[in-house]
Each structure stands twice: as C-alpha cells, then as structure tokens.
Amino acid sequence: MKLILPIFALFLCNVLLAQNTRADANEYFQNLNFTEAINLYQQLESKKKRPKALFVERLAESYFNLNDYTNAKIWYEKFYALKGKKVDEVTFIRYIQSLKACQEYIIANNLIKEYYNYDELKLATILEQEKHLDSLLGEAPSYEIKNLEINSPQSDFAPMYYKDAIVFSSSRAPEFSEDAEYSWNNQPYLSILTAKRDTTTGELMDVQKLHSNIQSSYHEGTLTYSSDYKTVYFTQNYLKGNELQVNPKGFSNMQILRGEVKGDSILGTVSLKFNNPKYSFGHPYLTEDGKRLYFVSNMYGGLGETDIYYVDIDEDGKLGPAKNLGPNVNTPGREMFPFIAGQYLYFASDSHFGLGGLDIFKAKIESGNGFETAKNMGMPINSNMDDFAFIVNNSGNAGYFSSNRVDGKGDDDLYAFNKIAETMIYKGTIKDETSELPIHEVKVKVYNQEKQLVLETITDEQGNFEVALSPNVNHIFAFFKLEYKQEIKMVNNADSPNLFKDTNYTVLTPFSSFIVNEGGVEKIKVNPIFFNLNRHNITYKAAAELDKIVSFMNDFPNVKIKIEAHTDSRASDAFNLELSNNRAKSTQEYLIYMGVDPSRIESAIGYGESRLINNCANGVPCSNEDHLANRRCEFIIIGK
C-alpha cells in the first residue's frame, strides 16, 4: 500500500538526476524513488552473469513498496533461493505477503511452518491463527461491504468518526491538495477531508476540506478526537514554519500533535513529548474516556518495523511513559491503525497469519493491560491485498475501513461494512399425538417477543420443518393444522440457547381426541357440568369443565357449537324446562365472558326432562346417580 509507508517511511527532500550507475540506483532506492531504482537495478542485473544478491533484494523491496506484488514475489523468490532460505524475518514476511497477495497460499503457509520450525511457541500461535482463519473461511460471511461513492482515483483512507460525519486522509487533487507531489507514488501530499455520513446506509457524501488552518504543503492525516470533540490528536511531518524539516540524509519523519478544536480550526497545537525526529510517530487513537492514547511508531526498542504503543493521560493532560503492547499484538513486521471498541483492539498487521498484505485483526483486551492472541477478521473485511484502518460504531454492527483491493476506484479506497444478522438453523419434527405418525403441511409461524410475525413455513411429507433465526433473540413458535389443536412453544434462546431442544419433537393433538360421536352427532368430550339441585348458577366444579370448552374453542377457532341443557324428571315439566333454559343461558354467558366469540355459539336451549338418557321418568324410582346422568349440558359441533 503506497500510502501507509509514507506515514512511517521517510520523505524525499531532493533527488538529483543521475547516471545509470550502481551509485545512482542506490541513491534512488535510499530516497524512496522506487520506480527509478527498479529501472537502474534491472539494467545492472541484466549485465551480470550471475544474479547479485543486493540487486535482487532491492528489486524485490522496490516492487513490494510499490504494491506490485507479482513482481515482488518473483524477485523475493530469487533472493530466498540465493540466500539458501536464510533471510532476515522482515524480508521473509514480505516474501510471504507477496505470495499471499498472488493467492499462492499453500506455498506461503508451507514456507511459514518451515521457517519457524525452530520456535515452538511462535509456531503454535501461527497454527492457532491459521485454524481460526480456516474456520471463518468455512462459514457464511459475517459482513457485507461496499465501495463508497466518494472515493477518488487517488488514495482515500484512514476514516475516523467526527460528530455526524467521517474525517479521512486523501491525496486527491487538485481541489484539496497543493501542487507538490510525493515521489513515492507521484500523488499529491495527504490532506484532511470530511464527508457527511448517512447513518442508515453508511454512504458518505459532500466532501469538504477540514481544519484547513493546520494543513501544509506536506502530509497531514490520521486524526482522533476526544468524546466532546474539543481536543484532537493528528499526524504531521516535522515542519519549521511551512518548511519540511529533514535530517542529514534528506528525510523527514512524522510526529503526533495535540490541539484544541475551535469551529473548523485547530488552535494551540503542541508536539507530544515522546516525539523524536529520528523516528516516525502516527496513527493516534484516543480512548472514549480520554485517559489513554494509542499510537504507532518505528522507534528503537520495538518488536518490529512498526509497533503499537500507548501512553496514559493524567487529568491535567500530562502523558505517562510509552508502553509497547507486547508480542500478542506486535510482531517483527508492521502493526498499524489501532482502534478500540468494547473489549477489543482492532489493528492492521502484515505479520500475523492472514490472507496477504496488511490484514485487519482484533485482540481481546485482558485485565492488566494484556491482550489475547490476535484473530483475523476474515473475508470480506480482509482480502489478499492491504486492508487497514478499521473503525466500528458503538453497536458493533457497522463501520468503515480502507483497502487497496482489486476493483477499487483508486489507489486506496474507503469501504463501509454492515454486520449480517447472525442466524441459526432450527429444525423440528411434528407428529400426531395419537398415531405418532408425522404430520405434513403443518403451518409453522414464528413470532418475536413483541408478538410480531417473523416468518412462517410448513412441514414436509416427513413432518419436518427448518427455519433460520437469530440465536440471540427469544421467539414464539406456533403450530397450526386443520383438525389439530394448535401448539404454542416459547424458545428463550437469548437466555438459554439449549431450550430449543423442546421444539425438536412436537406433537399435535388431533381434533378427534376432543370429541365423541353419538348417533352421527359430534359433541365436545367433556365431563358432566354440575349444577346444584334446582339451581342454574355456575359452580366452581362447572367452571372447571367449562374452561376446557373455552380452551377447545381457542384451539379450534373455526368451530361453531350449540348448547343444549337437560334436567332430570324431578319437579314439574314446566319448572324443568325453565330451569334448563336458564342453565343453557348461564353456560353461554360464561363462555362469552371467558372470551368466546358470541357468533360461534349458534344457540343455547334448554330441553327440560324431554330427552332423558335412561328410564328415570316421572314416578319411576331412581337413585341420585341415575338422576344426575340426566342433569347434563351438551356442546354439539355444528361447524368446523
């Protein structure tokens, strides 16, 4: 990636026109003018009968720094062979990244395991990271991404949240940058831009220059703000006035400045105490509480080319000592662009096990300022090219990152991402409670906790169903089929995921289990409705049985009934007729009171003692039990 190294690799001050000599090639290389260096080194190499290791190595490095991984791979391969597979770790890392950028993963991974076979601990970490990445590659993508409309043909990268907008770095020209060009990639120096953010779609729009009072003719970029947006930390070249400060070799490094935001201006800028012109410092990230600043540097004593550090910030703004994040984050390669969200540090690395180039990783923050082993974010966040500068919102479901992957609009582009809602496949089988045979075409409806319909499906010939749902939300499953009692089950998956086993095997009770057929007439099967002698009010015992009728009517919402009440033969015929009518009406009123739609009860009629079911007529001596059998209420099904 052409723009990451500008932050840390040094900046060309002057390059003189040169002759095609080895000294000229070395000068171009040392001044970071890799295109000219390649031309001369290739001419020099072509004149050699045997490959010269220095020329081969510098050709590989030059192509690598220009993101030409195809040619970098060719020359690193030659250099690796020339050196008998004994190269320094930084060179080896670049060779591996070139291979992976060319998607030669098997060769790269075999070389990694061969190279580190002397270090069991390192190899164990690599294998752990490889296993994690392989598991992600076998799953459906967790994110969907899109290249943003605002991207230009130049470099647009390093997004950061700024109120309701995004601030980012860009080398687009001519409207936002000076005429001066950076020799590394022949693009204008970086400027700070902002774009309005659509919080629904993630799209960015209306690009404007931001904080123009601090923008020089050289590089500015990678900003981070306090939560109240009153304080800002940003990266800039070492300057004296508007002139680039260079060291005796003609290079200028980067520093981190702090300033106060007043409107669009940044005032009172100061260089942080840890800055040192011998090294580069950049990619600041301030935690939400303002108590810790993370940054990146190539300063002496680090673990690799660039490491991530942090300093604690006192209430009075004083900075503590810089502390390295350690080997679970930093490697012999490049670690960059730190960002904290929740319990995780997100960062870019080219040395942890990945897909090629810089990849985005996350490491869980442990107590005591430690970190768990970094884990690759997988595709589509990562690709075989450079992916970096990842930021995510407080909900963890959307954000932005930068990449120079193929099919982009420019050198480096901004991408938006959204987390795809996680789903889990739930399966079940529905059977007849009586026959234990599977039931096909059962309607399965799934509702959320607010009782809103989420989806519905039906069972197949084997009574099976399958639905994809979020594993983090509680659901209600309802099972319907004509001639069966509907079944409702709660799936409290958000609380206890294992509870879903209760729906793996569900039985439905058939309509026939609730009725009795007497002489071709279907009646609801129910125990006798008990009324006290010569009374029509609903007793507790009667209510218990009538509640079963209510439940039946709820389970079979299309059923319609008529109510028939009967008495025994004791008392006069007229009295019994009136009593039975009152009992029928009391029963009807109770069912309606309990929620049964009145339209589903066609009639409620009393027949007195005119329909005795035994011989206990007037004047016939009978026991109380025989008389009780005639004192009954029947619920006859007239529609279903």
458, 443 Cβ separation under 8 angstroms: yes
Among the residue ranges 465-469, 488-492, 608-612, 622-626, the one predicted with the least confidence is 488-492
What burial letters (b/e) apply to 230-254, b meaning 16+ CB within 10 Å? Answer: ebbbbbbbbeeeeebbbeeeebbbb
Among the residue ranges 360-364, 401-405, 464-468, the one predicted with the least confidence is 464-468
Beta strand 204-209 with 191-197: parallel, antiparallel or unpaired?
A: antiparallel
pLDDT band for position 571 (cuts 50, 70, 90): confident
* Residue 549 CA: distances (Å) to CA of 209, 416, 528: 74, 58, 12
Beta strand 359-364 with 344-349: parallel, antiparallel or unpaired?
A: antiparallel
DSSP 574-610: HHHHHHHHHHHHHHHHHHHHTT--GGGEEEEEE-TTT
Mean pLDDT of 224-246: 83
All CATH 1.25.40.10 domain ranges of the chain, comma separated, are: 4-137
Q: pLDDT, tens digit, for every residue of 79-92? A: 999 999 999 999 99
- Residue scoring higher pLDDT (498 or 123): 123
Task: State which of 154-168, 200-214, 625-639 shows the largest mean pLDDT.
Answer: 154-168
Q: pLDDT, tens digit, for every residue of 582-636? A: 999 999 999 999 999 999 999 999 999 888 989 899 888 998 888 888 888 899 9
Mean pLDDT of 389-406: 93
* CATH code at 4-137: 1.25.40.10
Residue 95, pLDDT score: 95
pLDDT above 90 (res 200): no
346, 392 Cβ separation under 8 angstroms: yes
- Residue scoring higher pLDDT (188 or 70): 70
* Residue 543 CA: distances (Å) to CA of 83, 260, 485, 629, 637: 94, 76, 21, 18, 20
Q: SS3 for 246?
A: coil
Residue 497, pLDDT score: 47
Beta strand 335-341 with 375-376: parallel, antiparallel or unpaired?
A: unpaired
> What is the distance, to the nearest Å, from the Cα of residue 629 to the centroid of all Cα atoms in its chain?
67
How far is the C-alpha of 117 from the C-alpha of 218, rounded, in Å?
45
Residue 503, pLDDT score: 58
The mean pLDDT of the chain is 86
All CATH 2.60.40.10 domain ranges of the chain, comma separated, are: 424-509
pLDDT above 50 (res 9): no
Mean pLDDT of 216-225: 74
pLDDT band for position 570 (cuts 50, 70, 90): confident
Task: State which of 198-202, 216-220, 472-476 shows the largest mean pLDDT.
Answer: 198-202
pLDDT band for position 24 (cuts 50, 70, 90): confident
140, 397 Cβ separation under 8 angstroms: no
Q: SS3 for 175?
A: coil
* CATH code at 424-509: 2.60.40.10
Among the residue ranges 309-313, 375-379, 499-503, the one predicted with the least confidence is 499-503
pLDDT above 70 (res 15): no
Half-sphere exposure of 529 (CA within 13 A, CB side): 29
pLDDT band for position 18 (cuts 50, 70, 90): very low
CATH of 513-639, one of 3.40.50.720, 3.40.50.300, 3.30.1330.60, 3.40.920.10: 3.30.1330.60
pLDDT band for position 215 (cuts 50, 70, 90): low
Residues in the chain: 640
Residue 12, pLDDT score: 34
pLDDT band for position 6 (cuts 50, 70, 90): very low
CA dihedral defined by 323, 329, 332, 333, rounded to 10 degrees? Answer: -110
Mean pLDDT of 110-124: 92
Q: What is the DSSP letter of 509?
A: -
pLDDT above 60 (res 506): yes
How far is the C-alpha of 493 from the C-alpha of 503, rounded, in Å?
12
Q: Which helix (H) or strand (E) holds 69?
A: helix 69-82
